[in-house]
Structure 1
Amino acid sequence: MYIKRDDDGRIELVSRDETPKCREYLSVDSPELLAFLIEDEKGRGQAPFQASDLAFVRVLEDVIELLMDKGVISFTDLPEPAQQKVMERQSLRRRLNGLQLVSGSDEEGGVI
């Protein structure tokens, strides 16, 4: 995602594409970007914590995938609700990566 910052360095505008106003690139799982996207008038104090939680979810996805790739756990070892959530996240990730391939961005550069 491309962003524009205000005079204090805070994100004030976000775009999927680079524009004359939005030139700085941030990864879609950037805690700063996530905090901006989930921020609202009532939850300003919680936005950084929620953004951290969302970024940590990505770490857990990577750990689960690594454990399955190494044969430490099997997909079927996970409870049914966890299997459904893993499949949903994998599907969303594939769609997101497919869209990014079209736009030329490289989100996977910082993955564990």
Structure 2
Amino acid sequence: MLYAKINASGHVIDVAPYQDDEYNQLVSPHDPFVADILAAKLDQESSQELLTSSDQDMMRVLEDLIDLLTEKRLIQFTELPMAAQKKLLSRKFVRGIHSGNNETLIGEIRDDDALI
């Protein structure tokens, strides 16, 4: 995702791979003005930053998708490979610390979730 910095005339003057107070309008990299700005800005290092930012965003999308699928009981968390379970739980734990969220990792155990 790319976000644009807009001047007083409403023209795109810069783009960034993150959203903040200055860069707040979502833009397409295929827009000719955006493409020109990207061509001027991109070198090997900045393109790597864009890719890393995109990877982080995509990881969050995948985490949310897995949460949704398990909530709807379309998949069971335990069906995922153990390495994937560990990484997802670790990320959820760290995100909880950073957001001040005190949710448990496993969640509430309902009567219909009983093992016996």
Q: What is the TM-score of this pair, normalised by structure 2?
A: 0.49
Q: Please, what is the CA RMSD of the aligned residues?
A: 2.8
Q: Percent identity?
A: 34
Does 2:83 correspond to 1:81? yes
User: Can you give the 5+ residue segments of structure 2 that lack an aligned partner in the other structure?
Assistant: 6-12, 24-42, 102-116
- Structure showing greater radius of gyration is 2
Counterpart residue number, 1:19: none
Does 2:96 correspond to 1:94? yes
Counterpart residue number, 2:47: 45
Secondary structure at the residue paired with 1:46? Answer: helix
Counterpart residue number, 1:59: 61
Q: What is the TM-score of this pair, normalised by structure 1?
A: 0.50
Q: Whole-Å Cα distance in 1 between the matches of residues 67 and 61 of structure 2?
A: 10
User: Can you give the 5+ residue segments of structure 1 that lack an aligned partner in the other structure?
Assistant: 12-22, 27-40, 100-112
| CA positional deviation for 1:97 | 1.3
- AA aligned opposite 1:90: K
Q: Whole-Å Cα distance in 2 between the matches of residues 78 and 25 of structure 1?
A: 40
Q: Whole-Å Cα distance in 2 between the matches of residues 75 and 96 of structure 1?
A: 23
Runs of 4+ in structure 1 off by over 4 angstroms are 8-11
Q: Name the count of aligned residue pairs.
A: 68
Change (3 A) 1:71 1:25: farther
More relative contact order, 1 or 2 (CA 8 Å, 6+ apart):
1
